[in-house]
Amino acid sequence: MTKTTLTKAIQKRVNEGEKAFIPYIMGGDGSLTEQILFLQEAGATAIEVGIPFSDPVADGPTIQRAGERALEKGATLRTILEELKGIRNEVKIPLVIMTYINPILSYGIDAFAQACAKSGVYGLIVPDVPLEENEMLKDAFQETDVSLVPLVSLTSPPDRIEKIVAAGEGFIYAVTVNGITGVRDGFDDYLEKHLNQLKRISSVSVLAGFGISTPEQVKSLGALVDGVIVGSAIVEAFHQKELEKIRELVAASKKKVLN
């Protein structure tokens, strides 16, 4: 099956002269349904839903704490997918699952692929599955509209970047820092060159993520690529019930701000 839904949603925003904005939320940390519907109304292009996991290698302190709160409340991959399935008719934008491979293996790869397809999930990010081991996921998701979104790090050599990008679906997740997620004051001087390289060689949209936490960073990094992913700042704002901060972050991706 041709995987088009996530790609088209991002491209539509870019074609309108704006930047794609994908917020990250932790499933089970607060009301998942309320958070998704709020972000949809606020103007998100798609939403990345994290699955709480006991050993999250890519997550910074804010998202780790959110995962711990979700696990304490009994959130699992299965319960989150069931909730997403229940609100599928209300959600008009693509959802992207971010999880690690162990919960998928526990669920069953084929069963997980089918559950995603039935739950309004159109993208999957699995940080601990390298390109060389991705075939097990590709096979299971081949007949779905779920894009397997790759992460590209700052430290990847050029030949590896080309291979990762060539296999990418939905969008290319350009990691903007070396290390885990979390708020950053600034970014490496090499970042602009890195993002430009990805834009040159990718046939799908390139979005920047990790460390983006202010409207100014949304605007400046978004100007270099097709959009941004914001995680820790969104998770913390929901936890503190600072919804206006979330609206300001989404608004920074809009045309009126970027012009």
Ramachandran angles phi, psi of 99, nearest 5°: -145, 175
Averaged over 55-76, what is the pLDDT?
89
Q: Which residues pair with 25 in a beta bridge?
A: 49
How does pLDDT run across 116-130, given as a tens digit for each residue? 999 999 999 999 999
Q: Quick check: 179 pLDDT over 60?
A: no
Q: Where are the domains positioned within the chain?
A: 5-251
Averaged over 104-127, what is the pLDDT?
97
How does pLDDT run across 44-59, given as a tens digit for each residue? 999 999 999 987 776 7
Cβ distance 123 to 141 under 8 Å?
no
Report the candidate in 79, 96, 113, 214 with the shortest Cα–Cα distance to residue 151: 96
Q: What is the mean pLDDT of the chain?
A: 92
Q: Quick check: 62 pLDDT over 60?
A: yes
Q: Looking at residue 182, what is its pLDDT?
A: 46
DSSP letters, 18-79, are: S-EEEEEEETTSS-HHHHHHHHHHHT-S-EEEEPP-SS-TT--HHHHHHHHHHHHTT--HHH
Q: Looking at residue 57, what is its pLDDT?
A: 72
Q: Looking at residue 209, what is its pLDDT?
A: 93
Tokens of 55: 């050993």
**Active-site choice (18, 48, 83, 226):** 48
Specify the residue for token string 């696990």: 71
**Active-site choice (18, 29, 59, 169):** 59
CATH number assigned to the domain covering 5-251 = 3.20.20.70
CA dist 231 and 46 (Å) reads 13
Q: Would you call 59 a catalytic residue per the annotation?
A: yes
